[in-house]
């Protein structure tokens, strides 16, 4: 992977003591250990001065109509909104486009904003094809380390 701060690649680990496989999940083990390397599914960029910045998991990137849309990009567009909000993006299977985007939005610090104004703000600040097709206004579930529970959001999106 080039060290140019922009080229996105997949992370992999090549050490003896990474792990032997997934506990109680033998079907996931062969997928993650292709070619004796551990592929955790992370997308990252390598910076010129050496460090690697992990962006997000590859399964959280939405591919719709041949275009890649990053959940991080969706969140970065929504955070500067004057009403402020937490956001997360998940993929929903669709026949025509492969997947579509469903954005989960929660007001941040008790601020209020309408669904229409937040969607309009999103359309004004990102490419139209990257804007989510639907939005659900609920609290964004997080782990104890503040990581977004994408698996819960995927189930909620399928149910709605």
* pLDDT tens digits for range 14-62: 777 677 777 788 887 877 777 677 878 788 888 888 888 888 777 667 7
Mean pLDDT (whole number) for 86-107 = 74
The pLDDT of residue 157 is above 60: yes
User: Bigger pLDDT: 137 or 84?
Assistant: 137
* pLDDT tens-digit series, residues 113-156: 666 676 677 778 887 777 777 777 778 888 888 888 888 888 88
The pLDDT of residue 112 is above 60: no
> Left if phi > 0, otherwise alpha if psi is -120 to 50, otherwise beta: which for 8?
beta
SS3 category, 96: coil
């Amino acid at each position: 992977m080039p060290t140019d701060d922009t080229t996105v690649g997949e992370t992999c680990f090549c050490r003896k003591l990474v792990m032997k496989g997934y506990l109680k999940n033998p079907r996931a083990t062969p997928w993650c250990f292709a070619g004796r390397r551990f592929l955790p599914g992370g997308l990252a960029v390598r910076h010129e001065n050496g460090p690697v910045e992990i962006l997000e998991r590859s399964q959280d990137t939405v591919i719709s109509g041949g275009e890649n849309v990053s959940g991080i990009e969706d969140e970065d567009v929504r955070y500067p909104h004057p009403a402020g909000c937490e956001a997360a993006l998940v993929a929903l299977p669709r026949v025509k486009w492969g997947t579509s985007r469903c954005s989960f939005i929660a007001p941040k610090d008790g601020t209020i904003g309408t669904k229409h104004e937040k969607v309009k703000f999103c359309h004004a600040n990102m490419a139209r094809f990257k804007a989510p097709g639907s939005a659900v206004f609920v609290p964004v579930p997080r782990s104890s380390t503040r990581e977004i529970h994408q698996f819960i959001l995927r189930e909620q999106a399928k149910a709605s």
